[in-house]
Structure 1
């Protein structure tokens, strides 16, 4: 192959220029995103049944849906929430399930059960969870001249269409502000005097709002359409509606018994930006679109709107997902560039000339661009995983080129006047070992194809990008590098005189000292085999010990210049009270001087349940986004505001829960970023409630635990109407009549929609406020009976106060309570260890069971899967080595490098403060394919030159001398190439744990390989000789 490239050098150079051009084009066309396209296998079934209690929702809707969907193929787990008026059933499928097929099957099953659900319940909605549904941009809209009550409508009609026209924007939603509504507030006394019931008024308002075609009539030769024109023209025409006739036959107008207001809906949410009330715009991206480009386009619209409509309103970006994506991608790319620069200087030191360093360093960008071409045709995206693979691979890309270059310059001494011949022979001499080492580095990623779960989905593109980069670097080393070495600039002799002569002299002296020190170490090891062997074997239990003390988590946390908080007031608190307390929280946080901006959303909107079924909503709840002055001040903010917030809690009962730093998977995993979660299951709700509350109290008292909550902590106050069925039946009423009348009186009922211009405004009918406030007013609610007379609610019922569960949770058919505990300054595994003594108290209970939450289960499963992948990787490496060497025993000597690297991995993670997570475990898989390369280089020399030396000891010492420089140079480039990922000047890199694991493992493995492999090889040869002599 190399001969072909050398015979066609111009063609080769032109081909590589073409590849570089394609690579540059690929950079422009590759989509940019934070993570690979991960399809989390979850479907959500949402069914609305208004004004029904959680217990009835569970019985009438949740259980039937759970039972029917459990038969869908691939179901792994079913969880549900039964709240007031809504059932949410979440179906998690096994990884690898075809979600399009699963979605169709689930819809079919839900349609089958529809007939057994209550008639009044709305049609069930089946939603497919998509991580891309996370908002791309959240925008606060502050009024500057427009009436705040008109802001939401103005946005909907005049501003939202600009964003909807942006290519890549899937949806624009508006929250907060005021929504138009026509209110018909009925006077109960007047309604009674005119012998009308609320339902009769509602029916007549709805029945008189029609423009209806009656058909065509003929007039001469023409067809004329006949239309009945009865739709309301304005609010006055609603007030002028005749709803009854008096005893004298005079019309009774609606305005006679009700107040009709052109007003606004009763608010259930309010938004504030930096303390000023606003309306929020939320932009979502289409799946597959480039997040950064779409965000840039949307920002142009924001700039245009602010200039065009600045006298009315101002748009301010609250949160921009593309900023974090850009910073993350930019950080990884910057680390890659820094790694290239570091590699150049490292290579200059070990290779001894700038010329050779330039040749090898040139192979890096060439290999990267070739890799980008592969990625483009594989439809991969530029994300933290794929780019992380490239950044990690930068130091590895030069390994093949270093070996080829050293071999070529070695042959130049044999063919000083023939650069083509020396390039050809030098490449041919090492291409076999290069192929073997590249194959061992690649084959370790093969097990990723055989594991399931989040780890496989996240790391597929990482594995592919490293694989492509290593294939590219091998291809470049046997084609591009030999051709470069024949060019006049690179082929002529170079002296080390000149301004850098002192550096070259220092380098020569340092390497000589290093070589002598190495030879001394090898001789010492050989003469003290037993002691050294025992010392190395002692590393095994030491490695196990180190790994036991390492904190474990699913993914490393990502530090951002922002933090979130939840504010929870006592159940039953009004929106007004919620808003007041939440704004006081914002004031306290602002006083710390660490807050750059805040965005507060108090309460909820009904569509939130559909938009975000993962959320937890209520009038007593607020979500607070806090932009910080720096990414590293979150803990200072919490500490400085702690005392004031505790005082506020003691005064108002409000809980303020800060959401800890999230990881890259926080928008994908169900509980990511929610602290320690426990599932307490049992059938008796009372027992569940008591147990969860006990666990909550116990966890709250543990060190480092800041706040613990239970799903039963929040009970909703309620008034229960206890009906005397005998009395009710005597009046000719039914429970349905009573319930619907009470709903119409209190909550109101939409009678019709009033069309104004191109907008439809709902008309809501209910009793005026004074007739629906307090228990006495409720008891005086009137019901029209068959005789035409009226009775009061108190005549056939009793009203009592009580509390009800806000929601009922079920996991796989079992009722559960969830206890969540936030913690600080410790990792997830440390928090779980602290909680163990608390949970042991309940281990003997037969009526309940306690299981870890989803995050811990997924963490354990992912690390178990990756541990299996490591074992399989080692086996594959052995198979590759055995087949290449045609020897089943010698590869075990090489595999020693893998086993001793474990202690280096643990030390690297401990010294850098990193955790054991799926990123660092992935580094261990990568390490398994890298650390053997140094041993391969030594063993290959021993085999090729075994007959050139009298004794095995002379052979191994000579091999160490000859191979010391290439081993140190390839190791140094790999280790120092990872340094920018480990040491950053901003937030820590997501690949930091991987870099720490690989660097630590490679340092220890290289040192032990250089001094222990020679001894192990000698032992192997001696044992083989003894075995041969015995035979």
Structure 2
């Protein structure tokens, strides 16, 4: 292969240019995203059964659905939430399950159970979980020239259509502001005086608002449409509606018993941007679309709309998911670019000339562009994992080229021509290069066959490094030899005189290193027990050290954004929640660390279906804070701690800051909840009490944020207890009573009034004075079959009480959760802290306390990656044994992997990282990298065994001649990882991986250079000498 390219240099250069061209074109067309496209195996069944308590929802809806869907193929776990008026059943499938098939089967099962559910329950909806459901953009719309009460209608009519036309936008939703509504306020006294019931008013308004076609009639030779025109033309027409006749036959108009107002819906939410009330526009993208491109197009549209409608409304982007994606991807790409520059200077030091360094450094961008072509045809995206693989692999991409170049220039020194040197130099190292590349690649094979979240995320990382190493090997044995024959690179000139002192200084340093290394080998050959004892102690230290190393699923990612929740006591009104939230926001803004703030108080009615995992209420508010810098959160907490505590004490509110997210937060929301404990048992009261006790004990430790339970505080409620015997004597039913009470209190949307292009709901209910307090409720009127009116208190009693906000079930058992945000501690340390607390409940019958989903995911991920590490080592051994045709020598090489563990632990501790699935990927990567140094040494011993009189001379000479290539390849890999650890912004997601590789490679290289010569000498004397 090398010979062909050397003979056809023009063809080689054309192929090179073609690859570069295709690479650039492919890069332009690749989509940008935060993570690889992952199909998360979860479905959620949402069933609405309005105005029903959580306990009834659990019995009537949740249990039947749980039982029927448990038989779907591939189900791993079923969890559920029974809330007031809605059931949420979450089905998690095993990784690798075909979710399209699972979705169809689940819908079929849910349809089968439909007949067993209550008649009034709405049809169940099966939702696929998609991390892209998170808003792409959140936009604050502030009035600049129109009535704030008209702002929401203006946006819906004039701005929403523009956003809906943006390619890739799946949904546009509007929150906050005012929604128009025709309100019919019934006066109960007047209604009583005319002998009417609320239901008669509802039926009268609803049945008199129609334009209805009656068919066609023939007139001569034409057919003419006949329509009944009865729709309300204006609000006055509603007031003038005749709802009944008096005893004397006089019409009773709606205006006689009610006030008809052209008004607005009773608000359940309000939004603010900083201190200005606003309307929020939320944009969600279609699955599989490019987040960055869509967001850019939407922001261009926002600029255009601000110019066109600036006199009426101002649009401000308050949350941009693409910004974090762009920053993350750009940060990784920037680290890769910095690594290329660093590698050039490191190579210059070890190779001794800028010319040779330039040749080797050129192999990096060429290899990257070849890899990009692989990405394109594999339909991969440019994300933190695929680009992370390239950034981590930058230092490794030059290894093959360094070895080839050193070999070529070695032949050049023997006075051979440029062509002969290029050919023979490449052929001389081709076998060892192929073996070392294969060992680096083979370690990733287990990742491609594993299942689970770790394997799904890191598959693209593994493919990225694999493709880059294949590309770099191809470049090193084709283009690099050709480049060395070009006049500009084959010149033997000394270079610029200005650099000669530097090269002389470099020679002195390398000579000193070589002498020290030779002295070290000679000493170890004389005293082998010293190195063996040191290594034994080191391996023992590593085993103990790893047991105490903090662990977590994923490292946290710092952002210049902060989310918080404000929770007031249950039953708090929207106005009260708004007042307290604005007071909290004012204190946060005074700190000087908040650049912008967006808050949402209350909820929209559709929130529950759109986000079934959400927790909504009039007593809740959400804050989104843009900080002045990414690491300002701690300063904000400290500066506002006292003021916020005083507000919490005075108002009963609770401010909860959402912990910093990791890369999996959008895929696995449970991984971002800190410490979660699952307390399960059939006695819900006992579960609740234990959760409260554990919550209190955790809070006393002072090691966590504000601990909470899934029970929270009970929701106050008023219960109407019906005497069925009395009710039956009046000829009423429970359903009729319930519907009447609903129309009195909540109101009944009887019909819709059409005005211009709008359809405005008409809500009928009692006026405020007639529906506030239990006395008003007791006097609610019901019309019976005799035509007379009775009051609710005639057949029912009214009592006050409390109810559970929600009931959780995990795999058929009732569960309570205790959640505690992690503050300056890792997940594994948190478990150790609470272990003594949980021991108190170990003997409780029918009660089980287990760590939450994060622990299970972490254990499975670490177990699968640990298995991958072991399997990778086995595969490396098999490749080495096959290449060397020897079963013993590979064990000497594998030694490099085992001693690297100490460096991994040291690297993680010194850089402040933990043992997580990112750093475990670094260990897998190490398994294929650290063996290369030992391969280079042993290959020399085998090739030049006959050139030396004794084995001691052989191993010393091998160390001397291979020292420079080993140091140069190791240095480029280590220094190439520096930009992933030392950043000028937020820490890189690949930081733990870089730390584990750097530490492991550094320690392994130092020990390999000393141990391999000693081990080879022993193996040679014991097994090889007598056989040759």
1:521 maps to 2:520: yes
Deviation at 1:683, TM superposition (A): 0.7
Match of 1:13 in 2: 13
> Which SS does the other structure have where 1:636 is aligned?
helix
Within 5 Å, give how 1:218-257 maps onto structure 2. Answer: 218-257=218-257
Q: For 1:531 and 1:703, how far apart are their aligned partners in 2?
A: 47
Normalising by structure 2, report the TM-score: 0.99
Q: Could you say which residue in structure 1 is the equivalent of 2:731?
A: 732
**Counterpart mapping for 1:58-457 below 5 A:** 58-416=58-416, 418-457=417-456
Task: Using the TM superposition, give the Cα deviation of residue 170 of structure 1 relative to its aligned residue in structure 2, in angstroms.
Answer: 1.5
Shift of the alpha carbon at 1:283? 0.9
Unaligned segments of structure 1, at least 5 residues? none
Question: 1:578-617 counterparts in 2 under 5 A?
Answer: 578-617=577-616
CA distance in 2, matches of 1:260, 1:110: 43
Deviation of 1:672 after TM superposition, in Å, equals 2.4
Which residue of structure 1 aligns with residue 637 of structure 2? Answer: 638
User: Which is further off, 821-830 or 252-261?
Assistant: 821-830
The whole-number CA distance in structure 2 between the counterparts of 1:399 and 1:8 is 25
Against the structure 1 CA distance between its residues 764 and 497, is the aligned structure 2 distance closer, same or farther, given a 3 Å change threshold? Answer: closer
**Residues 622-670 of structure 1 deviation map (CA, whole Å, 9 limit, x = unaligned):** 1111110111110111111111111111111111111111111111103
Distance, in Å, in 1 between the alignment partners of 2:540 and 2:272 is: 57
- CA apart distance, 1:284: 1.1
* CA displacement 1:656-713 (0-9 Å, x = unmatched): 1111111111111031221111111011111111111001101111132121001122
1:780 corresponds to: 779
Q: Which residue of 2 aligns with 1:862?
A: 861
Output one character per residue of 1:766-791: Cα deviation in whole Å (capped at 9) or x when no partner. Answer: 11110000011111111111211111
Decide whether the 8 Å contact of 1:670 with 1:854 is kept in 2: no
- Give how far 1:328 is off: 1.0
Match of 1:923 in 2: 922
Q: Verify the 8 A CA contact 1:443 1:929 in the aligned structure 2.
A: yes
Partners of 2:524 and 2:464 lie apart in 1 by 40
2:47 is paired with a residue whose SS is strand
Post-superposition shift, 1:450?
2.2
Q: How big is the shift at 1:587?
A: 0.7
Q: Over residues 890-911 of structure 1, what are the superposed CA-to-partner deviations in whole Å (9 max), with x where a residue is unaligned?
A: 1000000000000000000000
Give 1:481's aligned residue. Answer: 480
1:763 and 2:765 are equivalent in the alignment: no
SS of equivalent residue, structure 1 residue 880: helix
Q: For 1:31, what is the secondary structure of its paired residue?
A: coil
User: Contact 1:563–1:626 (CA<8 Å) still a contact in 2?
Assistant: yes
Matches within 5 A, 1:413-812: 413-416=413-416, 418-495=417-494, 498-812=497-811
TM-score, normalised by the number of residues in structure 1: 0.99
- In the aligned structure 1, how far is the partner of 2:797 from the partner of 2:302? 57
Deviates more, 1:575-584 or 1:193-202: 193-202
Q: Deviations over 1:790-809 (max 9, x none)?
A: 11111112111110000011
The within-5 A match list for 1:854-1003 is 854-1003=853-1002
Moved over 4 A (4+): 1025-1029
CA contact (8 A) 1:42 1:129 kept: yes
Q: d(CA) in 2 for partners of 1:836 and 1:611?
A: 38
Q: Distance in 2 between matches of 1:390 and 1:579?
A: 49
Q: Kindly indicate whether the alpha-carbon contact (under 8 Å) linking 1:23 and 1:369 is maintained by their aligned counterparts in 2.
A: yes
CA separation in 2, counterparts of 1:91 and 1:261?
46
State the alpha-carbon separation in 2 of the partners of residues 157 and 665 from structure 1: 37
1:237-292 Cα offsets, whole Å, 9 max, x none, are 11111100011101101111011111111111111110211110111112222211
Query: What CA distance in whole angstroms lies between the structure 1 residues aligned with 2:243 and 2:589?
Result: 55
Contact 1:194 / 1:244 at 8 angstroms: preserved in 2?
no
Query: For the structure 1 residues 259 and 178, does the alpha-carbon distance in structure 2 shift closer, same or farther, using more than 3 Å as the test?
Result: same
- The Cα offsets for residues 436-483 of structure 1, whole Å up to 9 and x where unpaired, read as 000000010000122211101111111111111000000000110011
What SS does the corresponding residue of 1:500 show, helix, strand or coil?
Answer: helix
C-alpha deviation, 1:981, in angstroms: 0.5
Distance 1:107 1:732 in 2: 40
Task: Give the secondary structure class of the aligned counterpart of 2:705.
Answer: strand
Q: What's the CA shift for 1:349?
A: 0.7
Counterpart Cα distance in 2 of 1:547 and 1:470: 30
- Return 190-199 or 77-86, whichever deviates more: 190-199
TM-superposed CA distance for 1:823, in Å, is 2.7
* 1:293 Cα offset (Å): 1.3
Q: State the Cα distance separating 1:337 from its structure 2 match.
A: 1.0
Which residue does 1:1023 correspond to in 2? 1022
User: Deviations along 1:109-134, whole A, 9 cap, x unmatched?
Assistant: 11111111111111111110111111
2:582 partner SS: helix
Measured after TM superposition, the shift of residue 613 of structure 1 is 1.5
Cα distance in 1, alignment partners of residues 748 and 123 from structure 2: 19
Q: Deviations over 1:209-253 (max 9, x none)?
A: 111111111100001111111111111111111100011101101
CA positional deviation for 1:494: 2.4
Distance 2:897 2:715 in 1: 59
Deviation at residue 548 of structure 1 after TM alignment: 2.1
Cα distance in structure 2, aligned partners of 1:463 and 1:404 = 25
The residue number in structure 2 matching 1:851 is 850
Deviation of 1:1028 (Å):
6.1
Partners of 1:121 and 1:749 lie apart in 2 by 18
RMSD: 1.1
Offset of residue 758 of structure 1: 2.1
- Cα distance in 1 for partners of 2:401, 2:455 equals 31
Q: In the aligned structure 1, how far is the partner of 2:958 from the partner of 2:435?
A: 19
Secondary structure, in 3 states, of the residue corresponding to 1:474?
A: helix
- Residue by residue over 1:980-1007, the C-alpha shift from the partner in whole angstroms, topping out at 9 and shown as x without a partner, is 0110011100000000000000000000
Deviates most, 892-901 or 197-206: 197-206
Task: Give the secondary-structure state (helix, strand or coil) at the position aligned to 1:40.
Answer: coil
Give the secondary-structure state (helix, strand or coil) at the position aligned to 2:261.
Answer: strand
Name which of structure 1's ranges 295-304 and 825-834 shifts more when overlaid on structure 2: 825-834
- Count of aligned pairs between the two proteins: 1028
Counterpart in the other structure of 1:32: 32
Identify the range of structure 1 (1002-1011 vs 200-209) with the bigger mean alpha-carbon deviation.
200-209
Alignment check: 8 A CA contact 1:678 1:852 kept: yes
Kindly state the Cα deviation for residue 550 of structure 1 after the two structures are TM-superposed: 1.7
SS at match of 2:752: strand
CA shift for structure 1 position 201:
1.2
Classify the secondary structure of the residue corresponding to 2:824: coil
Q: 698-707 or 570-579, which moves further after superposition? A: 698-707
Classify the secondary structure of the residue corresponding to 1:349: helix
C-alpha distance in 2 between matches for 1:172 and 1:546: 52
Moved more, 287-296 or 660-669: 287-296
Separation in 2 of the partners of 1:238 and 1:245? Answer: 17
How much does 1:49 deviate? 0.8
Secondary structure (helix, strand or coil) at the match of 1:25 reads helix
CA contact under 8 A between 1:69 and 1:106: conserved in structure 2? yes
- Is the contact made by 1:614 and 1:670 (CA closer than 8 Å) also made in structure 2? no
Residues 46 and 89, structure 1, Cα contact 8 Å, conserved in 2: yes
